[in-house]
Structure formats: structure tokens, C-alpha cells
Amino acid sequence: MPQKKRSKDLNFLEKIYLPEIFNGLMLTLKNMFRPNVTMQYPEQKFIPPASYRGRPVLVKENDDTERCVACGLCSRVCPALAIEVQPDETALEKERFPKLFEINMLRCIFCGFCEEVCPEEAIVMSKDYELVYTNREDAIYGKDKLLVPVEELSDRLEFLRNFK
Amino acid sequence: MDIWSIVIETSIKIFVVVNVLLLTVSYSVYFERKISAWAQNRIGPNRVGWLGLLQPFADVFKLLLKEDIVPDKSNKAIHALAPFLALFVAFSTYAVIPIGPEMTLFGYTFSLVVADVGIGILYVLAMTSLGVYAITFAGWSSGSKYSLLGGIRSAAQMISYEVSMGFSIAGVIMFSESLNMNVIVQSQAGWMWNAILQPIGFITFVVAAFAETNRMPFDLPEAEPELVGGYHTEYSSMKFAGFFLAEYANMAIASALIVTLYLGGWQNPLVDIFGITGITATLMQIGAFLVKVLALLFFFIWVRWSLPRFRYDQLMDLGWKVMFPLSLINIVWVAALIMIFNL
């Protein structure tokens, strides 16, 4: 009985390997002349697109006040329980402001729920991905580190208005 | 010529050859990393020195400072001997490979080969066969199953491929009618390269050389996924560096051998075409030899980063069922050429 031809049976040219080896070599040779994808990180930094979710920050208006009204929704929605907000009264029109606003960056999972739930567009995800601390206390970011001027966040705010 | 001038001349040659070989080896490690990076669209080492050119020295320095760990269950003497045997074999092979023709400098004529012996090729074959011992010793004396498997694999592989290697060389010897490396090179004058006259022998020899040096399609003795690291799993510090250097030195020697036997050695067609003579011609011929060896080294590295590894049974199949008959066919082909064209 003649043996059935199987798909893995090779023909003569494939059996002597050489043409396929040549093809493989040409592929790697072609790749040697393609541009590199490597980024020389500390010297050359990755600038993320507006859709990037870096560390969450609070928006600081031009008159040096925060947008946040300390409603506590972000703290409520945070799945990692990373946010703590303590509200206080203010003489401004918005009546409330966060006396204390802390994000524990060891807990934060960069899900962006806080930004999604915020009614005031006061907390947004920034492009900052360089988070370094040498002890646990430093990992808890207070208002001093969280407040970022509104101009620096215009990319993200525009993105949110278009796609949120 | 009295005995002292021979001793001094040979010492100088040995010094030059060993240093050139060491430099070639360290920079082939560097280019191995660079070319692998380019093939994968990366940059490769570029931090130590200009373009990372000092990387090999940094690597060696690091290995020198590492702790030398010897396993409890190992055979200490043989464990220590193996890397030195590997290095010894790798470096001593280079003694008979001619870098250029006879050269006259300041009225003193000397040949550009450390030992111009009549049995050049036999010496090379004997030395490369000794290389198996280094790897088998390393695998056996480590007292580790992975090392042992690597050592046994390498012994089986090298013996299988030595057969086709020897028969391919037989074709070369039939043309040159001598075992002397210089005569073999001179027999390939002009474009009468053995690679052109006996392409089958050239291919079988190159494949066997890849298998002998444990390079990529045949690097089963150190197959990382199956054998952790193969015969050098239990080696560290400078002993590991010894194996590492020996591997690349073997690569350089395999390239030099292929060039000498099949690609015309130091023959430079330009010298004949333009009728250049004297010191310029000699330098051009040495340059031709170096360029050919470097091109082959690039080829070795290029193949490593292109081809996957053979399975063990495929390796044995290829060695005994394909390479061996092909090298025999090559001998018949060469005999026919000699008969018909009276070469």
C-alpha cells in the first residue's frame, strides 16, 4: 500500500535546507538595516500620548486654588483604597476644599477610576511615570506633590472631553 | 640560521599571533552582541567606552573578580584542568595557519606562519579532536547531570562530524598534493579557490566546522532550554571565561581554516591583476586574509542569530546520512576533475 502524503513531508528543495537557510539569513540581514526601536532611557525620555495613565494628580487653577471640592467620590471608588480626602470649608464660591488629600502610591493601581468618577475634572491621570521613593512614608503623596498647574495637564483634559 | 635566531623569531611570532587572536576573540564577543542586537532592531552594548568598544575588557574584568565556585561532588583536578585544556587546544591550533606569504623586512626573510610544518592539516585535525576532551572532562568532572549530558552530547556530535570534515579535507589535499598549509594556499592561486572547484566539499566542511565549534544550529552541548548551560553549568569566574574564550577562539580558528583550505588563504586576486610586488603585495595579501576571516566570523555570528537549533536525532541524521555521503561524493568529484583536466 502506498504511503499517504502528509503535509509535513518535505519536498527535495526543502529537504536540502539550503534555500530556506538562505531565506532566513536574508531576513535577519534585512533587519540589521532597519531603524532600532531601543530608547536610550535616562538621556532620551519616552513622552506618552494623552491617553496614557500615569500617576494621578490634582488640577491646580491659575489662581493657585485646587479644583477639588472634596466630595470624596474618588476615595469611594478607588478599588485599592489608596486615596484619603478630608474636606473643609472655604470662603470661595465652591464652598469646600480638601484639607487633606493623600494618595498612597504603593497602593495605587493606575486604573483611572478616580478620574472617571470626578464630577469637577479635578483629579486626572498625568504623563508622569517616574515614581521613585526610598521609604514608605515618601510613597504617600500629599497635596504638595499632587497639585499640578492646569496648563501642564491640558493634553489630558482635552482627551477626557473628547473621549470620556 | 642558528638556533637563537629561530627561537627569537618564533617567540615574536607566537606573541603576535596570541595577541591578535585574543583581540579577535574579545571583539568577536562584542560583535556577537552587537550583531544580535542589530538583527533584533536593538542597539547593543554602547555604554562602556566609545560605542561600547571597551565592553569585552569590562566583561573579563568582571569575570576575574567573581568567586570561583567548585561543586563538592566534582573531581577537582579534572574540573580545573578542563578549561585550560580547551584554551590550550584552541590557541595551539593556530600555529600552522599561514597569515601571509614569505616576507622580507630589513633584509631578513621569514614566513608568516608560526610553525611551517609539513603535516599542517593533520596537526589541525589532531588538535581539534582534542577539543572534545576538554568538553567531556568538564561535563564529567562537574558531578552534575546536566553537565554530563552536555559533555556526552558534544563528544557524540564532534566524532560524527569529524568524519565528514576529514573526508572534505581529503578533497583539498588531492588538489594540493601536500599536507603543508602554505602549499595548499599556493595551489589555489588566482581564482582557483577550492570553494569554487569543489562546492560540495566546501559546504560539508563549513557545516562540519559549525558542528565542531558548537555554534548555533549545532550548539546542543550547551542547549540552554534543556541542559541549563550544558558542560559549563558548574563553572564560574575565570574558568567559565576560559570556556567562553575557547569557544570564540575555536570560531576564529574555524574561520581561518575555511579561508586557508577553501577560500584561497592569503591569495589576493588584486595583486595578480595589477602586478603589485614587494612589501605592498605582502601587506595586501595579509589584508585579504584578515578580511576573509572577519567576513567568515560575521557569517558565523549571523547564522547563530538566524537559525534555530537542531534536535539531537536530526543532528545525528544529518551527520551520518547526509554529510558523510556528500563528502564521499566530493572526493569522487575531485578525482574526476583531476582525471579530466589534469589539474
Q: What is the mean pLDDT of residues A57-64?
A: 88
Chain A: nearest CA to B155, how far in angstroms? 25
Name the closest residue on chain B to residue A36, using Cα atoms: B41
Chain A: nearest CA to B300, how far in angstroms? 11
Nearest to A36 among B42, B302, B305 (CB): B42
Name the closest residue on chain B to residue A27, using Cα atoms: B306
Chain A residues inside the 8 Å CB shell of B43: 36, 38, 40
Find out whether B197 and B189 touch, Cβ atoms under 8 Å: no
Nearest to B307 among A24, A32, A40 (CB): A24
Mutant choice from B33, B302, B306, B318 vs A, greatest count of A C-beta within 10 A: B306
Name A45's Cβ contacts closer than 8 Å, sequence gap at least 6: A39
Name the closest residue on chain B to residue A38, using Cα atoms: B42
Mutant choice from A38, A39, A43 vs B, greatest count of B C-beta within 10 A: A38
CB within 8 Å: B41 and A27: no
Chain B residues inside the 8 Å CB shell of A22: none
What DSSP string runs through A24-79?
Answer: HHHHHHHHHTSPP----TTTS-----TT---SEEEEE-TTS-BS-----HHHHH-T
Chain A residues inside the 8 Å CB shell of B301: none
Chain B residues inside the 8 Å CB shell of A31: 38-41
**Can you list the alpha helix ranges (DSSP code H) found in B213-343?**
224-227, 237-262, 269-274, 278-304, 312-317, 324-341
Asked whether residue A58 carries a pLDDT value surpassing 70, the answer given is yes
What's the pLDDT score for residue A2? Answer: 66
CB within 8 Å: A18 and B203: yes
Chain B residues inside the 8 Å CB shell of A35: 41
Nearest to A28 among B42, B43, B302 (CB): B302
Identify the band that residue A84 occupies on the pLDDT scale cut at 50, 70 and 90: very high
Better pLDDT: A117 or B104? A117
Is B43 touching A (CB cutoff 8 A)? yes
CB within 8 Å: B41 and A35: yes
Identify the band that residue A56 occupies on the pLDDT scale cut at 50, 70 and 90: very high
What does the block give as the cell for B278?
A: 614587494
Chain B: nearest CA to A154, how far in angstroms? 34
Nearest to B41 among A24, A25, A37 (CB): A37
Name the closest residue on chain B to residue A24, using Cα atoms: B306
Chain B residues inside the 8 Å CB shell of A27: 306
What's the pLDDT score for residue B343? Answer: 61
Nearest to A32 among B39, B43, B303 (CB): B39
What's the pLDDT score for residue A104? Answer: 92
Per-residue model confidence as pLDDT tens digits over A3-37? 676 767 777 777 777 888 888 889 888 888 888 88
What's the pLDDT score for residue B1? Answer: 62
Gap between the Cα atoms of B261 and B257, Å rounded: 6
Gap between the Cα atoms of A53 and B61, Å rounded: 42
What's the pLDDT score for residue A1? Answer: 59
A33, A39, A45, A51: CA torsion to nearest 10: 90
Chain A residues inside the 8 Å CB shell of B203: 18
Q: Is A56-163 a domain of CATH 3.30.70.3270?
A: yes
Chain B: nearest CA to A14, how far in angstroms? 14
Q: What is the pLDDT along chain B (343 residues), one digit of tens a residue?
A: 688 888 888 888 888 888 888 888 888 888 888 888 888 888 888 888 888 888 888 888 888 888 888 888 888 888 888 888 888 888 888 888 888 777 777 667 777 777 778 888 888 888 888 888 888 888 888 888 888 888 888 888 888 888 888 888 888 888 888 888 888 888 887 777 887 888 888 889 998 888 888 777 787 766 666 777 777 788 888 888 888 888 888 888 889 889 888 888 788 877 777 777 777 888 888 888 889 899 999 998 888 888 888 888 888 888 888 888 888 999 999 889 888 887 6
Q: What is the mean pLDDT of residues A68-85?
A: 91
Nearest to A32 among B38, B43, B203 (CB): B38
Report B:268-307 residues touching A (Cβ under 8 A): 302-303, 305-307
Chain B: nearest CA to A1, how far in angstroms? 26
Please give the angle made by the CA atoms of B177, B183 and B185, to the nearest 5 degrees: 110
CB within 8 Å: B40 and A31: yes
Gap between the Cα atoms of A54 and A131, Å rounded: 9
What DSSP string runs through B181-239?
Answer: HHHHHHTT-TT--HHHH-HHHHHHHHHHHHHHTT-GGG-GGG-HHHHTTGGGTT--HHH
Asked whether residue A63 carries a pLDDT value surpassing 70, the answer given is yes
What's the pLDDT score for residue B241? Answer: 85
What is the residue type of A150?
A: V
CB within 8 Å: A35 and B42: no
What's the pLDDT score for residue A77? Answer: 93
Domain boundaries, given as residue ranges, for chain A = 56-163
Gap between the Cα atoms of B9 and B291, Å rounded: 25
Please give the angle made by the CA atoms of A21, A24 and A28, to the nearest 5 degrees: 140
